[in-house]
Structure 1
Amino acid sequence: MVRCGCALLRKYGNFIDNLRIFTKGGSGGMGYPRLGGEGGRGGDVWVVAHKNMTLKQLKNKYPQKRFVAGGGANSRVSALKGSKGKDCEVPAPVGISVTDENGEVLGELNKEKDRILVAKGGLGGKLHTNFLPLKGQKRIIHLDLKVIADVGLVGFPNAGKSSLLSRVSHATPVIASYAFTTLRPELGKIMYNDFKQISVADLPGLIEGAHMNKGMGHKFLKHLERTRQLLFVVDISGFQLSSVTPYRTAFETIILLTKELELYKEELQTKPALLAVNKMDLPDAPVKLHELMKQLQKPEDFLHLFEAKMIPEKAIEFQHIIPISTVTGEGIEELKNCIRKSLDEQDDKENDAFHNKQLLRLQHSGSAS
């Protein structure tokens, strides 16, 4: 650990993150048996990424959620080869995963104008179909939004994630002193003096049992899958959801958050992670921070305090641990620098890995020839 010196329709408020729609490729056109003419192929249905589109806008614009492509033209004397039917486009947001009814991933839309073929048009009538056209493919698909951001904020409710997002970026999330103020992902951007921009996603606070879909559960854990790094935000005074739930210290909070990520998807633990220890403006915060740092340096000495089922298989090693206060601004600039440094290091590693892969490929092709 290093401390850095520098209805299938799901809603939360007005936010929709999953949409189920019906798609159908166009039918082919009739062939012309007497002259051997071929009917046109039916149009295809594509899901296409649009920068400013949301799933809510898509639902409002197409309330029936049906997308059917045009039929192919029949063969006729004046045009023995029938023209292809008109394709149909489903406008979707960037950051969409498209799956079929069986859960098979058909593709992802990661940037504007990315497109995925979801329903093929039927063949036009020709000799081997006895000049009879084929129907287009029918397919029910799910559009599943997974926020794309450089950094995803992870923490229990009231840890100060929304306050932190408003401090480091130009986002204006709703902030209040009660649990679950954030009902949908909020995106902000950290702007640096050299014009570098880093996107940050504030996700609704998890609760114990999130991996079992308690609280917001899977609805928001999945958004972490599409962030490059994780930023844990922990209240130095600990956390208690309500008067009937157990009080958790800052250290216990980190252990439980780690366990929730592990139980949902172990790969989340492989992402680079930073830790922001918030509310350092409180009177006893320095004493509690000293204790927390001791616990994080040798976590194995304190795990006997937990039930076995609460202990993660692997502890997360934080690249940077930064004490902050979203009230006074303490540590905010240091945190922004640490985020930048961590992402730059990740970029260097990914670039090195890419170049090494390319080099191996060239060496392999050279030896093969």
Structure 2
Amino acid sequence: MVPCSCMLLRKYGHFIDNLRIFTKGGSDGMGYPRSGEEGGRGGDIWVVGHKNMTLKQLKNKYPQKWFLAGGGANSRMSSLKGSKGKDCEVPAPVGISVNDENGEVLRELNKEEDRILVAKGGLGGKLHINFLPLKGQKRIIHLDLKVGVDEGLVGFPNAGKSLLSRVSQATTVTADYAFTTLRPQLGKIMYNDFKQISVADLPGSIEGAHMNKGMGHKFLKHLERTRQLLFVVDISGFQLSSVTPYRTAFETIILLTKELELYKEELQTKPTLLVVNETDLPDVQVNETDLPDVQVKLHELTKQLQSPKDFLHLFETKMIPEKAVEFQRIIPISTVTGEGIEELKSCIRKALDGQDDKENDVYHSKQLLNLQSSSSSS
């Protein structure tokens, strides 16, 4: 039996996933006209990946968000070539995407000490420029972080807020209106054997998110670095506003699947669990022979998910995904009573442990093939 009582939560408040910074390479040094030598080059600006850095820490340490490299030294009789100015390194989290002001990705920094040159220092003063120093390159850079977590909650606005609070005892901002979560809410579940699983409630998707509507790409980008997805739907369905159509739980799942497919098909290959929240429906029973209303709707949803093709005629063709998501488990819960929460924690743990085993098997298989290949070539 997997121990799954939550002992500790580490809450990351005021999470920042995008930061705009100003960079300027150092000016070069002036040359020495009499002997035709050159001044030192200005220092360069580098963005460097650091495992233990967050954008919030970067912003707190450099509140002005302005990075300036050192200027090159002038040449002189005792040193006919001036020394280069000091480079400036901007420490950024691993997993960061470095973009220019037009949104073009310059490079992703996916491991410790990955680096990219973002602003060059000026060239040293030489004869052909009258020995005068040149200014360094100025550039505005956006650091865009894709959250790397074990579990990413996927749902329409407000779907995961109370669930994250229940699963990890996190203190999240909840409300009855859409887009309460404007940035990822992060928490950690620690199990009795000290295993830790990170969970992120990501800003709610809406129909058209793949086209950057609503939170759009700001939501979807974070799913790329999650190990497992957790679809969260309400058994009573969802309606964004009075002017948008009401969607049943099944329709919600189909539309979320389509949004993932249109944004990046690879997301559909991630291991996925389905959480069905029963919070908003009273457990009404008409008479002793009837099933409670919640159970009827849950039975109906299960039937639809078992044979989704039988119900796709209810959708417009453009709303139907090419491939349905295959859920490893469907877990009904109640975020009000807490029913099903412990089972959910156990399922999350078992699914990730199984994924670890598969990844280890693949790694050892590759190692064995490499050894065999080396032996045959020698």
The AA in structure 2 aligned to 1:230 is L
How far apart, in 2, do the equivalents of 1:190 and 1:122 lie?
50
How far 1:122 sits from its partner (Å)?
4.2
Q: Percent identity?
A: 82
CA deviation map 1:205-253 (0-9, x unaligned): 2222222222222221212122121100011111122333222111111
Residue aligned with 1:54, SS = helix
How far apart, in 2, do the equivalents of 1:296 and 1:334 lie?
21
Pair 1:171-2:148 in alignment: no
Match of 2:272? 273
Pair 1:350-2:352 in alignment: no
Pair 1:313-2:322 in alignment: yes
How far apart, in 2, do the equivalents of 1:362 and 1:82 lie?
52
Q: Structure 2, unaligned stretches of length 5 or more?
A: 5-13, 284-292
Match of 1:146? 146
Match of 1:157? 157
Pair 1:218-2:227 in alignment: no
Contact preservation (8 Å) 1:53, 1:91: no
- Tell me how many residue pairs correspond in the alignment: 355
Range moving further from structure 2, 117-126 or 286-295: 117-126
How far apart, in 2, do the equivalents of 1:108 and 1:90 lie?
14
Pair 1:23-2:55 in alignment: no
How far 1:312 sits from its partner (Å)?
0.5
The AA in structure 1 aligned to 2:191 is Y
The AA in structure 1 aligned to 2:76 is R
The AA in structure 2 aligned to 1:323 is P
Cα gap change, 1:130/1:272 in structure 2, threshold over 3 Å: closer, same or farther? Answer: farther
Pair 1:288-2:297 in alignment: yes
How far apart, in 2, do the equivalents of 1:128 and 1:361 lie?
55
Residue aligned with 1:77, SS = coil
Superposed, 1:1-369 pairs within 5 Å as 17-32=17-32, 39-48=39-48, 49=50, 51-54=53-56, 57=59, 61-62=63-64, 65-93=65-93, 95-101=95-101, 103-110=103-110, 115-124=115-124, 136-159=136-159, 161-279=160-278, 282-283=282-283, 284-368=293-377
Match of 2:10? none
How far apart, in 2, do the equivalents of 1:349 and 1:260 lie?
28
How far 1:45 sits from its partner (Å)?
0.7
Contact preservation (8 Å) 2:18, 2:55: no
CA deviation map 1:282-303 (0-9, x unaligned): 4121121111111111111111
How far apart, in 1, do the equivalents of 2:134 and 2:367 lie?
44
How far apart, in 2, do the equivalents of 1:118 and 1:61 lie?
19
Residue aligned with 1:140, SS = strand
How far apart, in 1, do the equivalents of 2:372 and 2:124 lie?
47
How far apart, in 1, do the equivalents of 2:195 and 2:252 lie?
32
CA deviation map 1:98-144 (0-9, x unaligned): 12345443333456776443223345467999977665444432211
Residue aligned with 2:150, SS = strand
How far 1:147 sits from its partner (Å)?
2.0
How far 1:195 sits from its partner (Å)?
0.9
- TM-score, with length taken from structure 1: 0.84
Match of 2:289? none
The AA in structure 2 aligned to 1:305 is L
Cα gap change, 1:242/1:133 in structure 2, threshold over 3 Å: closer, same or farther? Answer: closer
Contact preservation (8 Å) 2:53, 2:91: no
The AA in structure 2 aligned to 1:335 is L
How far apart, in 2, do the equivalents of 1:116 and 1:254 lie?
40
Cα gap change, 1:209/1:52 in structure 2, threshold over 3 Å: closer, same or farther? Answer: closer
How far apart, in 2, do the equivalents of 1:25 and 1:308 lie?
53
How far 1:91 sits from its partner (Å)?
4.4
Contact preservation (8 Å) 1:30, 1:39: yes
How far apart, in 2, do the equivalents of 1:268 and 1:316 lie?
10
- TM-score, with length taken from structure 2: 0.82
How far apart, in 1, do the equivalents of 2:165 and 2:111 lie?
26
Contact preservation (8 Å) 1:58, 1:92: no
Range moving further from structure 2, 241-250 or 94-103: 94-103
Contact preservation (8 Å) 2:158, 2:181: no
The AA in structure 1 aligned to 2:181 is T
Contact preservation (8 Å) 2:37, 2:80: yes
Match of 1:10? none
Residue aligned with 1:61, SS = coil
How far apart, in 2, do the equivalents of 1:324 and 1:209 lie?
28
How far apart, in 1, do the equivalents of 2:352 and 2:174 lie?
27
Range moving further from structure 2, 102-111 or 143-152: 102-111
